[in-house]
Amino acid sequence: MNTWVRIVRRREFTVFILIVILSIIFAVSTDRFLSISNISNLLSQLAGVAIAAIGMTMVIITGGIDVSVGSTLGLACVVSGSLLMIQAPFLLVLLATLGTGLAVGLLNGVIVAYGRVPPIITTLGMMNMVRALVFQALGGRWISGIPPEVRTIGLGKWLQIPLAMWVAGALIVVFSYFLSYRPLGRSVYAVGNNPEAARVSGVNLKTTLLFVYGLTGALAGFAGLINVGRTGIVQTNNGMGFELDVIAAVVLGGTSILGGRGTIVGSLLGALLVAIIKNGMILLNIPALTEGVIIGALIIISVLIDLVRGRGVR
């Protein structure tokens, strides 16, 4: 009985119930919501956010934040799109895209860990610099006409489920295990709970921060490759607003903005909740402003809950 009480009290359970309720509402409101094509489309759009949310979860658990993931995705789109246009080997495209994201993430990590610049300031500056680089690289033009045969990561399916979602699921399993059972994963929680106590107990704070920011950048880069594979177009505005979706997914999924608490599975549920809200409202022709109000309200409520818990109020 105690186990069930603990489960019901977890934020993940609340988010799961919201997902079920909204799915029922949208399924009753429109026949298209539960169609195979719509579900496949929803999962395709969900994959990139879910993958980037893995890294963002770890960053926020340490007490930080990364608002540059949208710009990082945009830069990765430019790199992967350019290589796919010349039909470069997929392994080269993958490594170049991951490397691009990793470089941006590590630069964030170095500034936060060694420069001790607050994460919000560091990543906000990086967001603007990388976005300017995207504009400069494209010169106001688009990359379009990428051959479908080299866009398997975005267009491919297995058992009617997008390949990108299978990859996202595998990464979620791997990094959930990593956070729960590996020493570096436990260090992520230790840094978020009490950095000084973590340092005294032998945790290398700088290494931990470099890891979480580097990983977040690499995963945002991979999400960029998925985006290009799915749409076949690279634009200067690729990734704009992406960081908000990722942060919303992580916060709604129960990761505390105060650090020290959160799960990747919770972030996946948060990403699914955001995706269902957006998808259902599009199908019902509800204005995008309403969507923003709902998601924004949910984020504020989640943050308030964290703040109340952080003050010891139950």
Pairwise CA distance, residues 56 & 64, whole Å:
9
Counting Cβ atoms within 10 Å, is residue 313 exposed (0-12), middle (13-18) or buried (19+)?
exposed
Q: Using an 8 Å Cβ cutoff, are 258 and 181 in contact?
A: no
Note the pLDDT of residue 290: 77
pLDDT by residue, tens only, the chain of 314 residues: 577 767 666 778 888 888 999 999 999 998 899 898 899 989 998 999 999 999 999 999 999 999 999 999 999 999 999 999 988 898 999 999 999 999 999 999 999 999 999 999 999 999 999 999 999 999 878 888 888 877 888 888 888 899 999 999 999 999 999 999 999 999 999 999 998 898 888 899 999 999 999 999 999 999 999 999 999 899 999 989 899 999 999 999 989 888 888 999 999 999 999 999 989 988 888 877 777 788 788 888 877 877 776 554 44
Note the pLDDT of residue 7: 67
| Helix 264-283 / helix 36-61 crossing angle, nearest 10 deg | 140
Pairwise CA distance, residues 278 & 42, whole Å:
9
What is the topology classification, in CATH, of domain 40-310? Answer: ABC transporter involved in vitamin B12 uptake, BtuC (1.10.3470)
Domains of the chain, residue spans = 40-310
Note the pLDDT of residue 303: 78
Note the pLDDT of residue 10: 75
Note the pLDDT of residue 314: 40
